[in-house]
Chains A and B, each alone.
Chain A
Amino acid sequence: MSSQIRASTASAPVRPARPSGLRWTLPALAFVMLFFVVPVAALLLRSITEPAFGLQNYVALLGSSTYLKIFVNTFLVSAVVTVISLTIGFPVAWALAIMPGRLASVIFAILLLSMWTNLLARTYAWMVLLQRTGLINKMLIGMGLIDQPLPLVNNLVGVTIGMTYIMLPFIILPLYGVIRKIDPAILQAAALCGATRWQSLVRVLLPLALPGMAAGALMVFVMSLGYFVTPALLGGTANMMLAELIAQFVQSLVNWGMGGAAALLLLVVTLALYAVQLRFAGDQRLGDR
C-alpha cells in the first residue's frame, strides 16, 4: 500500500516526474495478493507449525536420502530438458528469423497452436505415441531397426521427450526476438573478413544471441522445476519430481507441514533463479541504450 502513496506523490504537479504506472497494476496486485500470496504464505507457515512449531519438517525433508534424490532428479530433468530445448530450439529460431515472412508466420502458427492445445490432451497423445505398442515403436519395428519395443514411456525418456516438446516454444520465442535484432550485415562482414560459416556461428552469432539464450534457458529451467502433469503421466515413480512429491504430501498423505516445506524449498530455488534472470534482463536493456 505504501507504493500507492509513493506513486501519487510521484505524479504531484510540483515536480513532474515520470509516472511509475504502478497504480494501474493495483487490481492485478490485489488479485495476486488475495488468491496467491496469502494462501501460499498460509501453506508455507504450516511447514513450521505442523505438527508442532519448529523446523522438524525441513530436517525430515533434507535428512532423507529419498527426498534428496527427488531434489536431485528434479534439477537433473530440468537441466536435460533445458539443454535439449536449447539445442533443438536455436536452429528453429534462427531459421524463423531469416526465412521469408509468410513461411515464418506458418511456422509460428504451428508453434502457437501447439502451445494453445490442452496440456493434458497433448500429454496423453505422447503416451499413445510412445508406449510399447505405440506408433513410434511399431514404425521402428516395421522398418527392422529394432526387434523389441523400446521403453519410451513411464521413465526418464518419456518425461524428457514430453517436457521438451512443451518447453520448445518458450525457448524459441525469446531467441527469435534476439536473433531477429542481429543485423545480417554483421554476418556478411564476418564472411568478408574470411570467417568460415562455423566461425561466424560460434564467434559472431552465438555471442550476440547469448542474452536470448540465457533468458529462454532460465525460463525453461524454472518452469521445468515445478512441472507436474507431464512427469506424473509420462514418468515412473523412480524418477519422481518435486511437484509430484508436494501433491502427494498435500492430497494423499494430507501432511501439509511436509508439503509446505517442500513447496518453500522449490520457491526459494525458483526465486533465486528469477533473480539471476532479472540480472540478465537488466544487462540486456543496458546494452540496448
Chain B
Amino acid sequence: MRIAIASAATAALLFTTPLMAADMVFTSWGGTTQDAQKAAWADKFTAESGINVLQDGPTDYGKIKAMVEAKGVTWDVVDVEGDYAAQAGKAGMLEKLDFSVIDKTKLDPRFVTDYSVGSFYYSFVIGCNADAVATCPKSWADLFDTTTFPGKRTFYKWSAPGVIEAALLADGVAPDKLYPLDLDRAFKKLDTIKADIVWWSGGAQSQQLLASAEAPFGSVWNGRMTALKESGVNAQTSWEQNITAADSLVVPKGAANKEAAMKFIALATSAQAQADMAKATGYAPVNTESAKLMDAETVKTLPDQQTASQVNADMTYWADNRDAIGERWYAWQAQ
C-alpha cells in the first residue's frame, strides 16, 4: 500500500521536477493572500538567500498526509489553519521548528507551538454590503435575527473555528464561557437560520456573495472586507465581538529542504515581512514589533487593534476536538 502511494507521489515528483537542490516550495491558499505572501516573504527571501521559492497551492491536508506517509514530501513550508497545525503536530505529521534559526521572542505567544508559528491572524467580522440593505447587522445576535434583518446571510462552509462561536455568542453565551463549546446549543441556534444561510468556501466567494447581494451580509474574514472596500463596494465591517483565529506556518515531516524551510519561516515572521504582509492584506501581523513599522492609519484597521470586544478562538480546544466537531458539522449541514 505504501508502495502504491509512493508510486503516485514519485509520479507527482516527476512532473514537478524543475526543482534544483537549492530550491524550496511554499504552499498556501492561493488568491490575493498568497500573492501578498510571495511579495512580502518569498521574493525578499530569494533576494537575500539566493534560494528560489516555488509557489504551490492550494493547501490540502489530504495531500500533506499522502506525502508524509509516502516519504516523498515536496512541500517545505505550508500555510495551514491554526487548529490543524496544533492537531497535526501531535499526530506526527510535522517537523519540530528550529528556534535557533527562528526568533520566537518577538512572536505573539498565542500562535507559537513546537511545530508551528503564526503566519498571520485574522478576525471573523460581520461584513455587510450597505448599498443592498436598509440597515447593516452589527452584532452576532443581529446576524441570527431573521425578523429584523431578513434575507440570506453567508457563513464559512468548513468545520473551523468561527461559526459555532458566533452562534453561541448570538445566543447570549459570555465570551469567557465559550469553551468547552456547547455544540447542542450552537447547532440549535444555527437551526433557526439554516434555511437562510449561503455558505462560502473561499475568500473570493464571500466577496462575490456580498458584492452581488446574493447574501448581503455575513461572517467573513476581515481582510476580504478591506479588499472589497478598495474595489468600490460600500462594504461595512462591524468589529463587535470579532472572533480571531490564526493561520500557521508548518514544515511537513520529512520535507526535502528543511534547512531552507526554517530560514524562510525566520524571514516570514520577521517584523518587516509581517508588516508588509499586513499592509497588503489587512490581516494582523504575528510579530509584536511590526506595528511600529506601519503608519497609524493602517494599524487602526487591523484585527490586533480591535481588541475592545475581541474573542479569541481556542486553538488547543479545536485541535483536541477537530475530528468530532467536523463529523457533526458536516452531518448537520447535509441534513
Using a CB–CB cutoff of 8 Å, the interface residues on chain A facing chain B are 34-35, 38-39, 41-42, 45-46, 49, 64, 66-67, 69-70, 127-128, 131-134, 153-154, 232, 236-238, 240, 245, 248, 250-256
Residues of B within 8 A of A131 (CB): 212, 214
* 6 pairs of A and B residues whose beta carbons are closest in the complex: A42-B4, A237-B333, A66-B331, A251-B62, A250-B62, A131-B214
Bound CA–CA A45/B329 (angstroms): 26
Docked CA distance A256–B201 (Å): 21
B327 to chain A, nearest CB (A): 7
Chain B: CB-nearest residue to A244: B334
Q: What is the minimal beta-carbon distance from B40 to any residue of chain A, in angstroms?
A: 27
A213 CA to B334 CA in the complex, in Å? Answer: 33
Beta-carbon contact of A69 and B334 below 8 Å? yes
The listed residue (B157, B214, B323, B326) touching A237 by CB distance below 8 A is: B157
- Indicate whether A254 sits within 8 Å of B4 (C-beta atoms), given known contacts A131-B212, A154-B198: no
Report the separation of the CA atoms of residues A127 and B212 in the bound assembly, to the nearest whole angstrom. Answer: 11
B5 within 8 A of A: yes
Q: For residue A60, which residue of chain B has the nearest CB?
A: B327
Closest to A73 in B: B334
Task: Tell me the complex Cα distance, A153–B212, Å.
Answer: 13
B11–A35 touching, CB < 8 Å? yes
CB distance from B4 to the nearest CB of A (A): 4
* Secondary structure dominating the interface of A: helix
By a CB distance below 8 angstroms, the chain A residues around B198 are 154, 236
Query: How far, in whole Å, are A67 and B8 apart by their CA atoms in the complex?
Result: 29
Q: How large is the interface on B (under 10, 10 to 19, 20 to 34, 35 or more residues)?
A: 20 to 34
Known: A39-B4, A42-B1, A248-B330. A254 touches B11 (CB 8 A): no
Offer 18 A-B interface pairs, CB within 8 angstroms, sorted by A. Answer: A34-B7, A35-B8, A38-B7, A39-B7, A46-B1, A49-B1, A66-B335, A67-B334, A131-B212, A133-B214, A237-B333, A248-B330, A251-B61, A252-B61, A253-B323, A253-B327, A253-B330, A256-B65
Quick one: which of B1, B157, B212, B334 contacts A133, CB cutoff 8 A? Answer: B212
B59 nearest in chain A by CB position:
A251
Which residues from chain B contact A34 at a C-beta distance below 8 Å? Answer: 7, 11
Docked complex Cα distance between A56 and B7 (Å): 28
In this assembly, does B158 line the interface, its C-beta being within 8 Å of a C-beta of chain A?
yes
Residue among A39, A67, A127, A232 with most chain B CB within 10 A? A39
| B57-73 Cβ-contact flags toward A at 8 Å (1 or 0) | 00011100100000000
Contacts of B213 in A (CB 8 A): 132-133
Residues of B within 8 A of A232 (CB): 201
Partner of B326, one of A69, A238, A253, A256: A253
Q: Are A254 and B65 in contact (CB under 8 A)?
A: yes
Q: Could you tell me the distance between the alpha carbons of A253 and B88 in the complex, rounded to whole angstroms? A: 12
Residues of A within 8 A of B152 (CB): 132
| Cβ contact within 8 Å between A238 and B4 | no
